[in-house]
């Protein structure tokens, strides 16, 4: 397998080169078109959020990067290597990990089995100890059935298990949805830790007040298109506009 | 003569033994059907024909010199066949999955049943062309011939072997699925194959191997059965229908349910032969109807679907 | 949830389907002058059997895998009653229809609680009970079956022992059954049945008792399968274990699948093809089984809408092409 991260330093230089380049990405659910023409860039070590309303195409963008959409077109390049046409399992092996919106915890697996399910794809992932430091709740519940955990614990498990894999690009789909404020803060701290470790994160969010505490840049998605983008520094000046986009 | 409920004890223990043997075969076959149904959502009606195939491969191996005269081929006996035949059937299963089964994963489950009915007809028909409906004898291996008289019954060694091996294989399979890493992948893929694939696991390959394994298990059962029942093209025909009922009773897709109800129903069937012989062919189907009324998801129903 | 996904009927179908049915009826009237009448009888009974099965498979979306039980039960009931009781053939057949429909109520009640594969497996298991019953019960004579069943006199007047007379008797009874089925499918009840198939939850929310609706279809289907079985036993003067065997249940699925499920003419074409194939390949023994298996596989993999689906496609291409010419 071609290890794209081996060449990372030559491309990335001083943290500015594009890690992921998406051009004119289209995707369909059956006959209905979910993405029209998504274009966006993510640089090494960045935390980027995709903002937008329900059904705008944020989750579909993540699933398309991951190769989980059956029908997609356009271009998704990871360090210049085209991902369109790659099978989903091959994409994961290139060092991308995905945490789905519904958390995807398996009920027939214990917490420990859920945690160790995704295979290690690269060196440099977190050890189980480090994951338990981030999410102490998981440590005591290793032999519980996966879906017997609370919603917050399931979310921690869903994030924790992909941190083991050594993936350098982490895709998080609405990790704070429906969770208590204390847990949302905990997840926020975890995302900052990932950034300190030099991981790249794409975060799908509806809540830009949460997103602006973590992210470097934001893209706004509407009707399957990127309609706006801004750096985090530009957010305060654009609050009204963002509120209008998100309908809050 | 000792009587229990008005039945001689020899008859009772004898039928119990027959029931236990049948139960061992039901359990092994139901296990394969349950794995394939649970993991792939495929109703593998061709399982009975694949069991027959296993028995025939063992018979071919034994009769190589007669089938290909003049080539100086050796005759390959039971013990090698016990390893080789399941591997051959595993290979056939992989091929069947690759050519046919994977084309119906995305269709309604009903199509998998129709497809495998068709494959059953082709396989059984092909063997009938050559061997008609008559049975070919297959001898018990030298080591397991004979038996021991326990006073109240005669205990043939081969039958003890069948029961023990069946228990061991069932336990090993259960362990592999419920307690190992590969099993965890399988269970997870049952719930959400797309996500498991997005973790970097080659799910299509895994499904192919799983189908091959379940089918290989049928082939293994066929070799085990060859010395007890005659090797004939129709040997899996009625069995598969019983096995389907056993799987429904155990709870479709439940591994443990398939094993337990396999043995349990074999014994019930044996006892019925003693006390009400006319009902022995149908008792399993009647139990299935009753179970469906009182416990619609089967004895150990994990998935209600 | 539907078991089988059926495409919406194209409007053009209705045109050629009606024409084809009328032509086939005309052929049925004159055919015995050219073809051996008992072969035609076999086709008619299997067309009726397949059409009856289509009611649950195509129109109710239920994959029953034990319809031979109803065909065979009536077959044995008609054979035994015609042989041992002083009754006329039409009474014997009515009796056969009645017992099959009654068993349809019981089996249907047990099976329709479950859907999809469960439904298939349950109907299969229940049908096996029937099979073993006839395999063991003394008066059914095991492998031999009930032989030399007297055809008797229709209404006590018309002697049916002549094959030609028998054929027209069968054709008459067949038409009654077939037209009744068409009437059921076209009736408001038939519309509700299709609605339940396409979206059960929605039909229930509209106030329909989905299980009762399916049970009615299952019972009608069982009764008509019985009618086919009874006619078959009387015509061939034989009721045997192959009438209740699971392979017959598989064959009737094949007939509907190959012809085209949820269409009027599909089961007709499917039954003709399968019976003709069995007839012409009979000398080749087990090849029949192999061929049937291959057709099964091909139908499932490549033409799930059957012969009718293919004709529709050709007809559409032809209409499009001739449309452009104008």
pLDDT in tens, A193-220: 999 999 999 999 888 888 888 999 999 9
CATH number of B129's domain: 1.10.3470
For residues C243 and C72, give the distance between their C-alpha atoms in angstroms, rounded to a whole number: 5
Record the tokens describing residue A129, joined without a space.
């100890």
> Are the Cβ atoms of A106 and B202 closer than 8 angstroms?
no
Determine the residue among B179, B182, B187, B199 to mutate to test chain A binding: the one whose Cβ has the most chain A Cβ atoms within 10 Å. B199
Q: Is the dihedral of CA B153, B159, B162, B164 positive or negative?
A: positive
Locate tokens 């081969």: which residue?
A: B158
The DSSP 8-state label assigned to residue C58 in this structure reads I
Q: What is the pLDDT of residue B212?
A: 96
For residues A115 and B26, give the distance between their C-alpha atoms in angstroms, rounded to a whole number: 36
Q: What is the pLDDT of residue C280?
A: 86
C256 → chain B, closest CA residue? B114
Segments forming the whole domain that contains residue B25: 3-294
Q: What is the pLDDT of residue A21?
A: 94
Chain B: give the shortest CA distance to residue A238, in Å: 36
Locate tokens 């895994």: which residue?
A: B206
Q: What is the pLDDT of residue C117?
A: 80
Q: Give the end-to-end CA distance of chain C in Å, rounded to a whole number.
A: 43
Regarding beta strands A169-173 and A71-78, do their DSSP bridges make them parallel or antiparallel, or are they unpaired?
unpaired
Residue A10 has pLDDT above 50, yes or no: no
Residue A240 included in any domain? yes
> Are the Cβ atoms of B248 and C125 closer than 8 angstroms?
yes
Question: Can you list the positions of beta strands (E) in A52-91?
Answer: 71-78, 81-82
Give SS3 for B295: coil
Query: Using CB atoms and an 8 Å cut-off, which of residues 65-94 of chain A contact chain B?
Result: 66-68, 87-89, 91-93
pLDDT in tens, C53-107: 999 999 999 999 999 999 999 999 999 998 888 888 889 999 999 999 999 999 9
Residue A103 has pLDDT above 80, yes or no: yes
Contact partners for chain C, using 3 or more CB pairs closer than 8 A, are B
- Maximum Cα–Cα distance for chain A, whole Å? 49
Averaged confidence pLDDT in chain C: 87
- By the 10 Å C-beta count (0-12 exposed, 13-18 middle, 19+ buried), C207 is classed as exposed
Phi, psi at residue C223, to the nearest 5°?
Answer: -60, -45
Residue B303 has pLDDT above 60, yes or no: no
Asked if B103 has any chain C CB less than 8 Å from its own CB, the reply is yes
Segments forming the whole domain that contains residue A179: 16-246
For residues C190 and C213, give the distance between their C-alpha atoms in angstroms, rounded to a whole number: 9
Find all residues with CB under 8 Å of A25, minimum gap 6, and list them. A35, A37, A38, A39, A61, A64, A72, A73, A74, A75, A76
- By the 10 Å C-beta count (0-12 exposed, 13-18 middle, 19+ buried), B4 is classed as exposed
10 Å Cβ neighbour count for B301?
A: 17
Cβ atoms C55, C220 nearer than 8 A: yes
pLDDT in tens, A148-160: 999 999 999 999 9
For residues C275 and C273, give the distance between their C-alpha atoms in angstroms, rounded to a whole number: 6
Averaged confidence pLDDT in chain B: 89
Q: Is B76 left (phi over 0), alpha (psi -120 to 50) or beta?
A: beta
Asked if C109 has any chain B CB less than 8 Å from its own CB, the reply is no
Query: Using CB atoms and an 8 Å cut-off, which of residues 157-216 of chain B contact chain A?
Result: 181, 184-185, 187-188, 190-192, 194-203
Determine the residue among A106, A146, A147 to mutate to test chain B binding: the one whose Cβ has the most chain B Cβ atoms within 10 Å. A106
Find all residues with CB under 8 Å of C201, minimum gap 6, and list them. none
- List the single residue in C118, C246, C294 with the smallest CB-CB distance to B248: C118
**Domain count across chain B:** 1
For residues C60 and C3, give the distance between their C-alpha atoms in angstroms, rounded to a whole number: 9
Residue C1 has pLDDT above 50, yes or no: no
Q: Which residues of A touch B196 (CB under 8 A)?
A: 117
For residues C299 and C285, give the distance between their C-alpha atoms in angstroms, rounded to a whole number: 22
Residue C146 included in any domain? yes
Which among B24, B22, B37, B19 is positioned nearest to B169, based on CA atoms? B24
Chain B: give the shortest CA distance to residue A93, in Å: 5
Q: What is the pLDDT of residue B151?
A: 76
Residue C324 has pLDDT above 80, yes or no: no
> Are the Cβ atoms of B292 and C113 closer than 8 angstroms?
yes
Q: Which residues of C touch B240 (CB under 8 A)?
A: none
Helix axes C68-84, C210-236, angle to 10 degrees: 50
Residue C2 has pLDDT above 80, yes or no: no
Asked if A171 has any chain B CB less than 8 Å from its own CB, the reply is no
Q: What is the pLDDT of residue C73?
A: 96
pLDDT in tens, B190-215: 899 999 999 999 999 999 999 999 99
pLDDT in tens, C265-293: 999 999 999 999 888 888 887 888 898 89
Cβ atoms A161, A114 nearer than 8 A: yes
Residue C317 included in any domain? yes
Cβ atoms A89, B200 nearer than 8 A: yes
Whole-number Cα distances in Å, C12 to A137, C260, C309:
64, 15, 12
pLDDT in tens, B83-125: 999 999 999 999 999 999 999 988 877 788 889 999 999 999 9
Which among A85, A22, A72 is positioned nearest to A48, based on CA atoms? A22
Residue B20 included in any domain? yes
Residue C3 included in any domain? no
Q: What is the DSSP string of B5-23?
A: TTEEHHHHHHHHHHHHHHH
Give SS3 for B231: strand
Locate tokens 């022995």: which residue?
A: B280
Q: Which residues of B touch A118 (CB under 8 A)?
A: 199-200
H helices within chain B, ranges in order? 9-40, 47-62, 64-67, 78-99, 109-131, 157-179, 181-191, 193-198, 203-225, 237-250, 255-275, 283-294
- List the single residue in B109, B118, B121 with the smallest CB-CB distance to C117: B109
Asked if C115 has any chain B CB less than 8 Å from its own CB, the reply is no
10 Å Cβ neighbour count for A130?
A: 14
For residues C100 and C295, give the distance between their C-alpha atoms in angstroms, rounded to a whole number: 29
CATH number of C286's domain: 1.10.3470
Q: Which residues of A touch B200 (CB under 8 A)?
A: 89, 92-93, 118-119, 121, 165
A112 → chain B, closest CA residue? B184
For residues B240 and C9, give the distance between their C-alpha atoms in angstroms, rounded to a whole number: 36
Residue C8 has pLDDT above 80, yes or no: no
Cβ atoms C306, C295 nearer than 8 A: no
Residue B249 has pLDDT above 60, yes or no: yes
For residues A43 and A34, give the distance between their C-alpha atoms in angstroms, rounded to a whole number: 25
**Domain count across chain C:** 1
Residues in chain A: 248
For residues B156 and B162, give the distance between their C-alpha atoms in angstroms, rounded to a whole number: 10
Cβ atoms B149, B75 nearer than 8 A: no
The DSSP 8-state label assigned to residue A142 in this structure reads T
> Are the Cβ atoms of B118 and C296 closer than 8 angstroms?
yes
- List the single residue in A93, A100, A107 with the smallest CB-CB distance to B191: A107
Phi, psi at residue A170, to the nearest 5°?
Answer: -110, 125
How big is the CA angle at B27 (ends B25 and B30), to the nearest 5 degrees?
105
Contact partners for chain B, using 3 or more CB pairs closer than 8 A, are A, C
Asked if B246 has any chain C CB less than 8 Å from its own CB, the reply is no
H or E stretch at A133: helix A128-134
Q: Which residues of C touch B276 (CB under 8 A)?
A: none
Q: What is the pLDDT of residue A220?
A: 93
> Are the Cβ atoms of B198 and A117 closer than 8 angstroms?
no
Cβ atoms A171, A107 nearer than 8 A: no
Chain A: give the shortest CA distance to residue B65, in Å: 47
Q: Which residues of C touch B48 (CB under 8 A)?
A: none
- List the single residue in A104, A116, A119 with the smallest CB-CB distance to B201: A119
Contact partners for chain A, using 3 or more CB pairs closer than 8 A, are B
Asked if A143 has any chain B CB less than 8 Å from its own CB, the reply is no
Question: Can you list the positions of beta strands (E) in A84-139?
Answer: 96-99
Cβ atoms B219, B85 nearer than 8 A: yes
> Are the Cβ atoms of B115 and C133 closer than 8 angstroms?
no
Find all residues with CB under 8 Å of C60, minimum gap 6, and list them. C193, C196, C197, C214, C217, C218
Residue C227 included in any domain? yes
- List the single residue in A68, A106, A116 with the smallest CB-CB distance to B198: A68
Which among C313, C320, C268, C230 is positioned nearest to C46, based on CA atoms? C268
- Local confidence band at C10 (pLDDT 50, 70, 90 cut-offs): low
> Are the Cβ atoms of C289 and B125 closer than 8 angstroms?
yes
pLDDT in tens, B45-94: 999 999 999 999 999 999 888 888 877 788 888 999 999 999 999 999 99
Q: What is the pLDDT of residue A12?
A: 35
**Domain count across chain A:** 1
Which among C121, A194, A116, A212 is positioned nearest to B247, based on CA atoms? C121
Q: What is the pLDDT of residue B301?
A: 57
Q: Which residues of B touch A92 (CB under 8 A)?
A: 197-200
Of A60-69, C19-28, C238-247, the one with minimum mean pLDDT is C19-28
Regarding beta strands A18-29 and A200-205, do their DSSP bridges make them parallel or antiparallel, or are they unpaired?
unpaired
Which among B216, B221, B236 is positioned nearest to B86, based on CA atoms? B216
Cβ atoms A61, A221 nearer than 8 A: yes
Q: Which residues of B touch A146 (CB under 8 A)?
A: none
- List the single residue in C110, C292, C300 with the smallest CB-CB distance to B104: C300
For residues B106 and A65, give the distance between their C-alpha atoms in angstroms, rounded to a whole number: 23
Segments forming the whole domain that contains residue C228: 11-325
Record the tokens describing residue C93, joined without a space.
């057949």
> Are the Cβ atoms of C4 and B245 closer than 8 angstroms?
no
For residues A213 and A180, give the distance between their C-alpha atoms in angstroms, rounded to a whole number: 17
CATH number of A190's domain: 3.40.50.300
Return the bridge partners of B155, or none. B148
Q: What is the pLDDT of residue B12?
A: 83
Size of interface B-C (CB pairs under 8 A): 132
């Amino acid at each position: 397998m071609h290890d794209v991260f081996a060449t990372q330093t030559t491309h990335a230089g001083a943290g500015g080169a594009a890690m992921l380049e998406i051009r004119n990405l289209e995707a369909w659910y059956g006959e209905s078109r979910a993405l029209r023409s998504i274009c966006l860039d993510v640089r090494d070590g960045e935390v980027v959020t995709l903002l937008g309303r329900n059904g705008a195409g944020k989750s579909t963008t993540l699933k398309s990067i991951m190769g989980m959409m059956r029908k997609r077109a356009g271009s998704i390049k990871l360090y210049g290597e085209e991902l369109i046409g790659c099978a989903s399992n091959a994409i994961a092996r290139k060092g991308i990990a995905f945490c789905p919106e519904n958390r995807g915890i398996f009920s027939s697996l214990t917490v420990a089995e859920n945690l160790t399910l995704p295979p290690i794809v690269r060196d440099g992932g977190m050890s189980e100890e480090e994951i338990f430091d981030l999410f102490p709740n998981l440590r005591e519940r290793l032999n519980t059935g996966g879906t017997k955990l609370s919603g917050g614990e399931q979310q921690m498990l869903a994030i924790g298990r992909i941190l083991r894999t050594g993936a350098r690009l982490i895709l998080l789909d609405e990790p704070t949805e429906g969770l208590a404020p204390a847990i949302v803060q905990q997840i926020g701290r975890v995302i900052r830790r990932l950034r300190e470790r030099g991981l790249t994160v794409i975060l799908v969010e509806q809540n830009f007040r949460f997103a602006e505490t973590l992210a470097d840049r934001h893209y706004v998605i509407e009707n399957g298109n990127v309609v706006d983008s801004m750096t985090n520094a530009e957010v305060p000046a654009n609050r009204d506009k963002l509120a209008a986009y998100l309908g809050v | 003569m000792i009587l229990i409920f008005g039945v001689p004890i020899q008859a009772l223990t004898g039928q119990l033994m027959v029931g236990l043997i049948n139960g061992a075969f039901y359990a092994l076959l139901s296990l394969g059907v349950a794995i394939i149904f649970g993991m792939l959502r495929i109703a593998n009606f061709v399982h009975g024909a694949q069991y027959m195939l296993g028995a025939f491969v063992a018979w071919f191996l034994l009769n190589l010199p007669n089938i290909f005269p003049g080539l100086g081929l050796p005759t390959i006996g039971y013990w090698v066949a016990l390893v080789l035949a399941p591997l051959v059937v595993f290979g056939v299963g992989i091929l069947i999955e690759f050519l046919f089964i994977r084309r119906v994963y995305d269709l309604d489950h009903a199509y998998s049943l129709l497809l495998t009915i068709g494959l059953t007809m082709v396989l059984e028909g092909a063997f009938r062309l050559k061997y008609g409906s008559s049975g070919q004898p297959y001898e018990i291996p030298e080591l397991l011939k004979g038996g021991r008289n326990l006073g109240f019954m005669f205990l043939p060694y081969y039958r003890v072997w069948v029961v023990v091996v069946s228990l061991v294989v069932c336990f090993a399979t259960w362990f592999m699925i419920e307690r190992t890493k590969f099993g965890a992948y399988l269970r997870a893929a049952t719930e959400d194959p797309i996500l498991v694939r997005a973790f970097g696991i080659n799910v299509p390959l895994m499904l192919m191997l799983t189908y091959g394994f379940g089918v290989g298990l049928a082939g293994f059962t066929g070799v085990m059965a060859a010395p007890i029942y005659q090797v004939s093209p129709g040997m899996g025909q009625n069995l598969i229908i019983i096995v389907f009922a056993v799987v429904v009773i155990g709870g479709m897709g439940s591994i443990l349910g398939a094993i337990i109800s396999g043995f349990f129903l074999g014994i019930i069937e044996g006892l019925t032969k003693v006390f009400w012989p006319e009902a022995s062919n149908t008792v399993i189907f009647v139990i299935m109807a009753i179970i469906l009324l009182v416990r619609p998801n089967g004895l150990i129903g994990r998935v209600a679907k | 949830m539907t078991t089988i996904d059926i495409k919406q009927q194209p409007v053009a179908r209705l045109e050629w389907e009606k024409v084809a049915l009328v032509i086939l009826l005309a052929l049925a009237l004159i055919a015995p002058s050219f073809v051996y009448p008992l072969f035609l009888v076999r086709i008619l009974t299997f067309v009726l059997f397949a059409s009856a099965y289509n009611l649950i498979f195509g129109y109710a979306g239920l994959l029953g895998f034990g319809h031979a039980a109803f065909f065979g039960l009536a077959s044995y009931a008609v054979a035994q009653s015609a042989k041992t009781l002083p009754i006329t053939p039409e009474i014997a057949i009515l009796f056969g229809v009645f017992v099959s429909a009654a068993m349809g109520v019981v089996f249907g009640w047990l099976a329709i609680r479950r859907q999809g594969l469960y439904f298939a497996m349950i109907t299969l298991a229940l049908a096996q009970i029937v099979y073993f019953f006839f395999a063991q019960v003394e008066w059914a004579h095991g492998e031999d079956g009930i032989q030399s069943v007297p055809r008797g006199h229709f209404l006590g007047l018309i002697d049916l022992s002549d094959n030609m007379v028998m054929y027209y008797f069968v054709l008459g009874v067949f038409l009654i059954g077939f037209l009744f089925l068409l009437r059921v499918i076209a009736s408001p009840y038939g519309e509700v049945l299709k609605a339940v198939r396409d979206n059960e939850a929605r039909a229930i929310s509209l106030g329909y008792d989905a299980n009762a609706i399916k049970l009615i279809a299952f019972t009608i289907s069982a009764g008509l399968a019985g009618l086919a079985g009874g006619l078959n036993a009387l015509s061939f003067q034989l009721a045997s274990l192959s009438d209740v065997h699971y392979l017959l249940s598989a064959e009737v699925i094949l007939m509907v699948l190959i012809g085209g499920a949820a269409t009027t003419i599909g089961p007709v074409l499917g039954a003709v093809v399968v019976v003709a194939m069995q007839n012409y390949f009979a000398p080749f023994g087990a090849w029949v089984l192999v061929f049937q298996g291959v057709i099964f596989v091909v139908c499932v993999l490549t033409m799930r809408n059957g012969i009718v689906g293919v004709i529709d496609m050709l007809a559409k291409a032809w209409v499009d092409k001739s449309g452009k010419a104008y």
